[in-house]
Amino acid sequence: MALKLKRKPPSSKPAATKIDEPDYFGSSHPEIVFVVDPMVGKPGDDEAPNPKRPITSKQIEFLTNYCKQHDIPLSKAGILRACPPVTAEQWDSDKKTTDHRKLHRDHFVNVIQKRKPKLIVAMGKTGASQVVNRAAKITQMRGTPVYSEEFGCVVFPMLGLTHVIRIPDVEPTFNADMGTLKKIIDTGYSLEYQVKVKTDYRWVTDI
């Protein structure tokens, strides 16, 4: 089951205002929200950024396949773009990307608070930065869940989809983090997801 685009009812707001808003699709009441990096417009891209869709077709296929492999319930999930699409020039500048992200954080917070997820999967540098509201080094943060006082749920940082698709060498790391994500879900979205080994010590006299 792939995540399907949820059509929104017609809005009375001007088109320009709608385009400036990060978009969301998926479950109306998600337990899990995947926060993704914004799409970047670069020459030669197969799929141009779409202001009305938070993720490319290739990315959603990639994420869907991994969720199926790890038995992650897509019916309880949604995808939220950290901020609207950026240009290649903005993406190549940390300052411009950060300024763009901050400009849209209030709306991002409103969407999360409205959906009230039990788990936020913060994917990529910008996705994680938007969730924690500070510059995030995703390669250092990934794989370690934390509790967010702001959103009242667990946050699990992971590598960004674009990064993993473009650099297959990091896919084993992504796959391992998906395994950890499944453990967090199976333990009721708790930080106590580590499997504890119970050892039975007994006296043995015939060795």
**Residue 195: predicted pLDDT:** 47
Provide the β-strand partners of residue 32. Answer: 77, 119
A 10 A CB-CB count for 122 gives: 28
Q: What is the pLDDT of residues 95-116, one digit of tens each?
A: 988 898 898 899 999 999 999 9
Q: What is the pLDDT of residues 36-58, one digit of tens each?
A: 988 776 544 555 555 566 778 89
**Residue 91: predicted pLDDT:** 77
**Residue 1: predicted pLDDT:** 55
- Closest by CA to 130, choosing from 90, 83, 87, 162, is 83
* C-beta separation of 81 from 56 below 8 A: no
- Six-digit token pair at 49? 């950024």
For the four alpha carbons of 83, 89, 93 and 99, in that order, the dihedral sign comes to negative
φ/ψ of 3, rounded to 5, equals -65, 135
For range 128-147, the mean pLDDT:
95
Q: What confidence category does residue 157 fall into, taking pLDDT thresholds of 50, 70 and 90?
A: very high
For range 80-86, the mean pLDDT:
86
**Residue 194: predicted pLDDT:** 60
